[in-house]
Structure 1
């Protein structure tokens, strides 16, 4: 069995490793446009902030390691076309410019995503960069050394983490977003208010509810960012507006969403026989809203890539869907969320939405130290099912949200969560878990 894998970051690496383990006699060939694989872009801000001293530590696999288990890894090779009828692909060697064809029995599409880059006036000026891969990371580190005024456009997780990292490095940092809150897709206002206060206290300039119009520069070098409401000095701009599926290669050839995300079934199969897809180029089943959405996360990618290995020959193990669970640390605040926020639920579903918020100390007040935590549950008043949750505290209680993810996946109700058994030990918690307390309050 000959398997060709196009693209090899998180989903591709997981697929390759699992296919080789289950089918050791298979011939696996990887075509990757970059000269590296398995780069954890979520760690770029840690590198900028010097929590991690070298960018190279953000790799967890290598072409050499895959070759050592019998996988043929072709770096700097771009796939130009796919002929699904003939099970053939056209490939260009980017080092030699040679173009050739290859054939497959099974095809794995792990094409990933790419940053959204609007066609801004002045967008070609020097020192306007992206934040996605290893080359971007090195570019950001290099250019930031001489930058005094750093502007980050996009206040999702990546933008927010970069803003903190640059502020810690003593840069004049501005964070711009068209929404009126940071991280608006992941957290409700009472949580983003706390995070925004942290940034303001540290001197980060939050420019919210403003849209970037253009960039201005002198002698080809960036000097200013112009929004619809103001202008800001800039030596370095990092675009973190969002991601889109990198699926031009299969446009019009596979079933996709309007944004290009490949539609797959619960076994990672596409609309073409013997063609599988996983990761940021695909849709995911979003359990809280009972629909499919585009949610590019590394956690989804590695699970989906693993499932390709399990289902390559015969449908064996189903994809369970996702809750879009995520976490972030902003200065002293540990934050996590899963499922639907109250705002997103009200705007994108027909559920009868309600929510409840509890604030309590994380462990008994007779202990030498304790910290306050805020936990929110979002649920459907009709079905009683829990649809989402968020937590914030100065100590790490984010694992509550992983528990809540399981609760949502298993379609538990407020009543069931209220009486679910959790341990009590004064070093760690109170007799009623925060999750119990929130559910009890909802009752």
Structure 2
């Protein structure tokens, strides 16, 4: 069995390693256009901020490790064409410019995504950078040494993490986003308001509800960002606007979402026979809505890549879908979310209600008892949980993983009220805060009085 793999980051590495172990007789050939593999791009802000001192820790595999598994890893090789009917691909060695053709039995497409680059005046000025791969991170670190005023465009996870890292390194930082609040795809206003306040208290300038119109510069280097509402002096600009899937190779051959994300079934198969896909290049089944959605996360990628290997010969293990569960730490706040926000649920046309509590996560008689803010979103009629968000100065983010399981298993908010959680004063209260939010959501006639604890 000849297996060709295009791309080798999260999903690709998982697919390759598992395929090699499950089918030791297989001939596996990997085509990777970069000079490195398996880079944890989610660690870029930690690397830029100096938390990660040795970047080697941000790689979890190498061509040498794959070679030990019998894998032929062709670095700096770009696939230029795929013909799914003849099961062939054409490639180019980016160093020697040598070209060739490879015939496969199974094709695994893990081409990932690439940052969205707006077509704006001045976009090609020096010191306007992207933040995606290892080479980007090294360039950002080098350029930031000589910059004092840094502007980040895009207030998603990567953008927010970067402005924190730059501020902690003593830079003057501005965060621009066309939306009127940060992290608007992940969190509702009750959470983003607090995070924005924290960023501003640390001296970060927020330019929200502003769209970048152009960049200005001198001697070929950017020095100003012009938006719909103002202008910001900048020695360095990082674009974190978002990502789009790299799927041009299969355009016109495989079914895709409007944004180009490959549509796969529960077994990671595309609409083309013997062509599988995983990771940021494809859509995924989103359990809160029951639809296919584009949710580029490393966790989704490694699960999907592992399942590709398991299903390569025959459908064996179906994917259970995703809730898009994610987390972030901004200064002293630990934040996590899963599923739909109240805002995104409304955008999807779901009739939802939300319940929110803010309470000490453990008994007040303990030396410390930090507050936890927890919000759960559920369908009004079925009472099925479709999303949740949590924020606390103490790390309670694993609780969001629990609610992720609840969403995956289509549990109701009423059931959450009475799930069995342990009690120990070091960690929680007799009613865990997950129970408490469920109790708070019970219909008035059915609410239970909390028992008196001896």
TM-score, normalising length: structure 2: 0.97
- Please give the per-residue CA displacement for 1:119-149, whole angstroms capped at 9, x wherever unaligned: 0100000000000001101110110000010
Cross-structure match for 2:196: 196
Residue 98 (1) aligns with residue 108 (2) = no
Cross-structure match for 1:341: 341
Shift of 1:56: 2.8
Cross-structure match for 1:420: 419
Provide the rounded CA distance (Å) in 2 between the counterparts of 1:398 and 1:87. 45
Contact in 2 for aligned 1:45/1:158 (Cα 8 Å)? yes
Shift of 1:289: 1.0
Contact in 2 for aligned 1:115/1:240 (Cα 8 Å)? yes
- Please give the per-residue CA displacement for 1:212-233, whole angstroms capped at 9, x wherever unaligned: 0000000101100000000001
Cross-structure match for 1:368: 367
Cross-structure match for 2:395: 396
Cross-structure match for 1:178: 178
Shift of 1:84: 1.1
Secondary structure of 1:354's partner? Answer: strand
Shift of 1:48: 1.2
Contact in 1 for aligned 2:334/2:394 (Cα 8 Å)? yes
Cross-structure match for 1:409: 408
Cross-structure match for 2:154: 154
1:71-110 counterparts in 2 under 5 A? 71-110=71-110
Shift of 1:30: 0.1
* Structure 1 alignment gaps of length 5 or more: none
Secondary structure of 1:140's partner? Answer: helix
Provide the rounded CA distance (Å) in 2 between the counterparts of 1:130 and 1:53. 21
Provide the rounded CA distance (Å) in 2 between the counterparts of 1:420 and 1:395. 23
Secondary structure of 1:306's partner? Answer: helix
Cross-structure match for 1:132: 132
Shift of 1:206: 0.6
Query: How large is the RMSD of aligned CA atoms in angstroms?
Result: 0.6
- Please give the per-residue CA displacement for 1:186-244, whole angstroms capped at 9, x wherever unaligned: 00000001111110100000110000000000010110000000000101000000000
Provide the rounded CA distance (Å) in 2 between the counterparts of 1:333 and 1:424. 24
Residue 263 (1) aligns with residue 263 (2) = yes
Shift of 1:368: 1.1
Shift of 1:57: 2.2
Cross-structure match for 2:38: 38
Shift of 1:96: 0.3
Q: Please identify, of 331-340 and 249-258, the stretch whose mean Cα deviation from structure 2 is larger.
A: 249-258
Contact in 2 for aligned 1:44/1:55 (Cα 8 Å)? no
Provide the rounded CA distance (Å) in 2 between the counterparts of 1:370 and 1:249. 54
Secondary structure of 2:161's partner? Answer: helix
Provide the rounded CA distance (Å) in 2 between the counterparts of 1:352 and 1:224. 44
Provide the rounded CA distance (Å) in 1 between the counterparts of 2:297 and 2:108. 18
Cross-structure match for 1:7: 7
1:273-284 counterparts in 2 under 5 A? 273-284=273-284
Cross-structure match for 1:382: 381
Shift of 1:49: 1.1
Provide the rounded CA distance (Å) in 1 between the counterparts of 2:353 and 2:84. 47
Provide the rounded CA distance (Å) in 2 between the counterparts of 1:56 and 1:165. 19
Contact in 2 for aligned 1:255/1:271 (Cα 8 Å)? yes
Cross-structure match for 1:436: 435
- Please give the per-residue CA displacement for 1:22-42, whole angstroms capped at 9, x wherever unaligned: 101111000000011100011
- Please give the per-residue CA displacement for 1:326-374, whole angstroms capped at 9, x wherever unaligned: 000000000000000001101123x221000001101101111110110
Cross-structure match for 1:353: 352
Provide the rounded CA distance (Å) in 1 between the counterparts of 2:176 and 2:372. 28
Secondary structure of 2:86's partner? Answer: coil
Contact in 1 for aligned 2:21/2:69 (Cα 8 Å)? no
Cross-structure match for 2:213: 213
1:229-244 counterparts in 2 under 5 A? 229-244=229-244
Residue 326 (1) aligns with residue 326 (2) = yes
Shift of 1:107: 0.4
Secondary structure of 1:292's partner? Answer: strand
1:292-331 counterparts in 2 under 5 A? 292-331=292-331
Contact in 2 for aligned 1:280/1:295 (Cα 8 Å)? yes
Cross-structure match for 2:448: none
Provide the rounded CA distance (Å) in 1 between the counterparts of 2:24 and 2:50. 40
Contact in 2 for aligned 1:55/1:137 (Cα 8 Å)? no
Shift of 1:17: 0.5
Provide the rounded CA distance (Å) in 2 between the counterparts of 1:284 and 1:84. 22
Cross-structure match for 2:248: 248
Contact in 1 for aligned 2:276/2:308 (Cα 8 Å)? yes
